[in-house]
Chains A and B, each alone.
Chain A
Amino acid sequence: MTTFEGSSRRSRGLVLHGGASWTQAPYPALVADRAGGVVEVNAAAAALFPGALSGARLEEVVPAWLADAHRRATEDGGTGPTAAVRGRHQELTLEAHPAAGDNGDVVWWLVDDTDRVVAETALHDERERTAFLADASTRLLASLNVDRCMEVAVRMAAEHLADAALLVAPAAGKRHPMAASVRGSSVVHTTGRIDPSAVPGLSEALQGFPPVPSRWIDPSALPDWAVPEGLDGPVGSVVVTPLPGHGVPAGALILLRRGETPAFDASEEVFARVFAARAGVALSAARLYTEQTSITATLMVELLPPKLRQVHGVEFAGGYRASRDTERVGGDFYDVHPSTSPDQETFAVLGDVCGKGLAAAVLTGKIRNTLQALLPLADDHENLLRRLNGALINNRHARYATLVLASVRREGRTTRLRLTSAGHPRPLIVRHTGQVEEADTSGTLIGALPEVSARTAHVDLGPGETCLLYTDGVTEAKGGPLGDVLFGEERLRAALAECAGLPAEAVVERLQMLASEWVGTGPHDDIALVAITAPHGTHLTAVDGRTPGRYTA
Chain B
Amino acid sequence: MTDIHDVRFGSAGPAGAAEAPFGDQARGAVADGRAGDGVGAVETARTGHAAGAAAAASRPELLSRARDELWQAVDARDELTAARGVFDLLDSGLAAEDILLEVIAPVQHRVGAEWAAGRITVAQEHAATAIHDRVIAAMAHRATPIPPESDGTGRRTRVTVTVACVEGEWHALPARILAETLRLRGHTVDFLGAQVPTPHLIAHLHRTAPDVVALSSSLPTRLPTAHAAITAVQATGVPVIAGGAAFASDGRYARLLGADAWAAGAREAADVLGRGLPRPHLDAARPAVDDLPHLSDQEYTMVSRGKRQLVKNTLAGLEQRLPAMRSYGEAERERTAEDVAHIVDFLAAALYTDDARLFTGFLDWTGDILEARGVPARVLLPGLELLRQELKDFPRALDFLAQGGAALHGRNPRPTAPGPGAAA
Q: Which DSSP category, helix, strand, loop or mixed, fits chain B's interface?
A: helix
Q: Considering the chains assembled together, what is the distance between the CA atoms of A513 and B18 in angstroms?
A: 14
Segment of A18-26, A223-231, A479-487 engaged in the interface with chain B: A479-487
Are A293 and B206 touching (Cβ within 8 A)?
A: yes
The yes or no answer to A510 lying at the interface (CB within 8 A) is yes
Are A499 and B123 touching (Cβ within 8 A)?
A: yes
For B315-333 the 0/1 string (1 means CB < 8 A from A) is 1000000000000000100
Max chain B Cβ within 10 angstroms of own Cβ: one of A481, A510, A512: A481
Residue of A nearest to B172 (CB): A509
Are B126 and A325 touching (Cβ within 8 A)?
A: no
Distance to closest chain A CB from B56 (angstroms): 27
Q: Considering the chains assembled together, what is the distance between the CA atoms of A547 and B126 in angstroms?
A: 24
Distance to closest chain A CB from B92 (angstroms): 15
Q: Considering the chains assembled together, what is the distance between the CA atoms of A545 and B122 in angstroms?
A: 25
The yes or no answer to B236 lying at the interface (CB within 8 A) is yes
Distance to closest chain A CB from B265 (angstroms): 24
Are B87 and A550 touching (Cβ within 8 A)?
A: yes
The yes or no answer to B129 lying at the interface (CB within 8 A) is yes
Q: Considering the chains assembled together, what is the distance between the CA atoms of A293 and B200 in angstroms?
A: 12
For A508-532 the 0/1 string (1 means CB < 8 A from B) is 0110111011000000000000000
Q: Considering the chains assembled together, what is the distance between the CA atoms of A135 and B198 in angstroms?
A: 25
Q: Considering the chains assembled together, what is the distance between the CA atoms of A538 and B73 in angstroms?
A: 13
The yes or no answer to A204 lying at the interface (CB within 8 A) is no
The yes or no answer to B130 lying at the interface (CB within 8 A) is yes
Q: Considering the chains assembled together, what is the distance between the CA atoms of A510 and B282 in angstroms?
A: 39
- Residues of chain B with a CB closer than 8 A to A551's CB: 80, 83-84, 87, 138
Are A548 and B141 touching (Cβ within 8 A)?
A: yes
Contact partner of A482 (CB less than 8 A), chosen from B134, B207, B238, B337, is: B337
Are B131 and A142 touching (Cβ within 8 A)?
A: no
- Residues of chain B with a CB closer than 8 A to A547's CB: 141
Are B123 and A540 touching (Cβ within 8 A)?
A: no
Max chain B Cβ within 10 angstroms of own Cβ: one of A289, A500, A512, A543: A543
- Residues of chain B with a CB closer than 8 A to A517's CB: 10-11, 168
The B242-293 residues at the A interface (CB cut-off 8 A) are 282-284
The yes or no answer to A542 lying at the interface (CB within 8 A) is yes
The B214-247 residues at the A interface (CB cut-off 8 A) are 235-238
Q: Contacts A293-B207, A553-B80 given; indicate if A325 touches B130 (C-beta within 8 A).
A: no
The A467-519 residues at the B interface (CB cut-off 8 A) are 480-485, 494, 498-503, 505-506, 509-510, 512-514, 516-517
- Residues of chain A with a CB closer than 8 A to B87's CB: 550-551
Are B308 and A502 touching (Cβ within 8 A)?
A: no
Are A144 and B206 touching (Cβ within 8 A)?
A: yes
The yes or no answer to B390 lying at the interface (CB within 8 A) is no
Contact partner of A143 (CB less than 8 A), chosen from B78, B237, B312, B340, is: B237
- Residues of chain A with a CB closer than 8 A to B167's CB: 325
Are A145 and B131 touching (Cβ within 8 A)?
A: no
Are A502 and B237 touching (Cβ within 8 A)?
A: no
Are B135 and A480 touching (Cβ within 8 A)?
A: no
Are A502 and B11 touching (Cβ within 8 A)?
A: no
Q: Considering the chains assembled together, what is the distance between the CA atoms of A152 and B195 in angstroms?
A: 31
- Residues of chain A with a CB closer than 8 A to B237's CB: 139, 142-143, 148, 152
Beyond known contacts A509-B194, A510-B126: 13 more, CB 8 A cutoff: A142-B235, A142-B237, A143-B237, A144-B236, A147-B209, A289-B206, A482-B334, A502-B130, A537-B77, A539-B80, A542-B138, A543-B79, A547-B141
The 7 A-B pairs at the shortest CB distance, nearest first, are namely: A483-B308, A481-B337, A145-B209, A325-B197, A481-B341, A506-B130, A144-B206
What would 15 A/B residue contacts be, using CB atoms closer than 8 Å? A138-B282, A139-B282, A145-B205, A145-B208, A293-B203, A481-B334, A482-B315, A506-B130, A509-B126, A512-B170, A517-B11, A517-B168, A540-B79, A547-B141, A553-B80
